[in-house]
Amino acid sequence: MNSLTPFPGPQGSAEVVAFHRTELSVILALYGRMVAAGEWRDYGISNLRDLAVFSVFRRTAENPLYRVEKRPKLRNRQGQYSVVGMDGQVLKRGNDLRTVLRVLDRKLIRPVD
């Protein structure tokens, strides 16, 4: 009756991929500009074992407009950062986050009628 059950330690937990503070500041700067322009309204962050995802929503209850993904395993191949559209198409991929996010920054600039 007085036996202790050990709490699962580090052997049961796996490392997760997450955005670094500097990466998040770059993403959130773009997010702030898009919110101010009325384009985006909400976001979500997921930290998984193989990738970290920053999802952007126009409304809370719909599918994400864009996903900024970080996959460190692709660092030496196509690049660890990618921007994925609503339909799953990769819009831009690379190792420099600012360069990859430029594809979304261009969507903010619209021609004036």
User: What tens digit of pLDDT does each residue of 19-47 get?
Assistant: 899 999 999 999 999 888 888 888 999 99
The domain ranges of the chain are: 21-105
10 Å CB burial of residue 34 (0-12, 13-18, 19+) is buried
Judged against a pLDDT cut of 90, whether residue 69 lies above it is answered with yes
Is pTM beyond 0.85 here?
no
User: What tens digit of pLDDT does each residue of 42-62 get?
Assistant: 899 999 888 999 999 987 667
Judged against a pLDDT cut of 70, whether residue 5 lies above it is answered with no
